[in-house]
Structure 1
Amino acid sequence: MAVIAVYSVKGGVGKTTLAANLAWCSAAISCRKTLLWDLDAAGGAGFLLGLDPKPKRRADAVISAEKDPAKLIRKTAVGNLDLLPADESIRALEVQLLSLGKRKRIAKLAAGLGKTYDRIVIDCPPILGETSAQVMRAADLVIVPLPPSPLSARAFGLVAEEVAAHARPHPPILPVLSMLDMRKTLHKDAREEHRGWPAIPYASAAEQCAVRRQPVGAFAPNAPVARAYSKLWTAIERKLASK
């Protein structure tokens, strides 16, 4: 079992779209039993997989140990892919984790879920704090989507510091340039500066995920962005295998 955290300190960089598509790659391409765990209160991961929240099921009950996570997990239309959804209740997740006083609560939950799943992909909230610290302790690999700009290296440095501060030994970190548009000079410069980083191109097919409520591989498997997700997933599997 491996836990892959998709984390960014900034919203609007394609984090949730990346998490949902990587989870699809794990389930559909690698044929691994996969769980997409949404810890972002916006609940975007579930939306992209065509699932709407159920009002009577509070996601924060999992963290407080009031409910078995298995009772909240929902099957998706994708074989091998399940979802542990988020909802408005986890907006107070930071306070909840601090009040519990258990520094490895998320890691313990992930370990339990790992008895059922080969891969757990966590869509993290875009914040620095107790939630991010706990995710870093649980993760085997941290994927960091970054906008193609001169600030990319600085944003990556912030994440690297966060990971190093809260997990020893800390998990490998893989930066990814997201929504790369090579028609823009700024993006071309960022790509030139970080040639060793994987890149996900800006594409209408990726935007269609939110319209169709499906990962791009399900409706446009030959699109360049779908191939980019697949290539990134292959790199992730290799990195995990080399640990």
Structure 2
Amino acid sequence: MAIIAVYSAKGGVGKTTIATNLAWCAAQGRAPARRTLLWDLDAADGAGFMFALEAGRKRQARSLFAGDVQPHALIQPTAYAGLDILPADSSLRELDGLLLRMGQRHRLATLGRQLERSYDRLILDCPPMLNELSAQVLRAATLVIVPLPPSPLSARGFDFVVEEIRRHTKRPPPILPVLSMIDRRRALHNEALAANPTWPWIPLVSAVEQCAVHRRPLGAFAPNSPAADAFARLSQGIERKLAQMAQRAAQAA
């Protein structure tokens, strides 16, 4: 099971939109279907909202880390075959303190291993912060996706992520920067595309904004839109990267 973290130290960069659409693409997109779990680690529960899940009454997301409940007890199916979600709730606001008190630096990775037999892809929708939870995400991740709207602050945030990965991991996972919220009418955005021609990018178009209105991924309501195609290409690029990593690991063994 590959663990794909969608992470940024800065909020408002399109992180949840990317995570939810990538999860749909992994489970139902053009590539071979993968059994996929989307794990929402952000107390705002944006991923659950995007998939029109009813908010849970119990504050159990934190209890999962404490060992009071097993992951499969909290997993909910979505309306899409092969795609489940482990939703967030407000108890995650207390998670960082719990992790520090527990002193288990790989607690998230341990929970991830409990899911390996059930899923091919685990996609983490991460909160925008630098703390013990983010450090555990970076230790557990196979690949880190970093959304970057074209702005100096986003570039600075990317540098923070690179530094965090170096600081918290002995074997840093690969980082895939993704230019998000690209408006081709703006000079700054075109300059960012020209400066990083190999980076994938997601356009800022009404169809992407409509995901939160329809509470469905793009592929479900606008499959022929340019934005849906952009997410499909990003998903395919991730699969190629994972295949290359697996091949190198096999050769090294």
User: Normalising TM by the smaller chain, what interval?
Assistant: over 0.9
In 1, Cα distance between the equivalents of 2:195 and 2:155? 9
Instruction: Tell me the residue number matched to 1:174.
Output: 176
Contact 1:4 1:141 in 2 (8 A): yes
Contact 2:59 2:91 in 1 (8 A): no
Structure-2 residue corresponding to 1:229 = 231
Give the superposition deviation at 1:57: 4.8
Q: What pairs with 1:1-243 in structure 2 (closer than 5 Å)?
A: 1-29=1-29, 30-243=32-245
Q: How far does residue 15 in structure 1 lie from its aligned partner after superposition? A: 0.2
- CA distances 1:122-163 after superposition (whole Å, capped 9, x unpaired): 000000010110001110000000111234432211111111
Q: Give the distance between the partners of 1:227 and 1:22, measured in 2 at CA.
A: 12
The answer on whether the counterparts of 2:35 and 2:121 sit within 8 Å (CA) in structure 1 is: yes
8 A Cα contact 1:57 1:72, kept in partner: no
Aligned residues: 243
Q: Contact 1:150 / 1:190 at 8 angstroms: preserved in 2?
A: no
The CA RMSD measured in Å over matched residues stands at 0.9
Deviation at 1:111, TM superposition (A): 1.0
The answer on whether the counterparts of 1:34 and 1:81 sit within 8 Å (CA) in structure 2 is yes
Runs of 4+ in structure 1 over 4 Å off: none
Question: In 2, distance between residues paired with 1:242 and 1:59?
Answer: 34
TM-score in terms of structure 2 length: 0.94
Unaligned runs of 5+ in 1: none
Identical columns (%): 58
Listed as ranges, the gaps of 5+ residues in structure 2 are 246-253
SS at match of 1:178: strand
- The answer to whether the Cα contact below 8 Å between 2:10 and 2:154 also exists between their aligned partners in 1 is no
Contact 2:75 2:84 in 1 (8 A): yes
Q: TM-score, normalised by structure 1?
A: 0.98
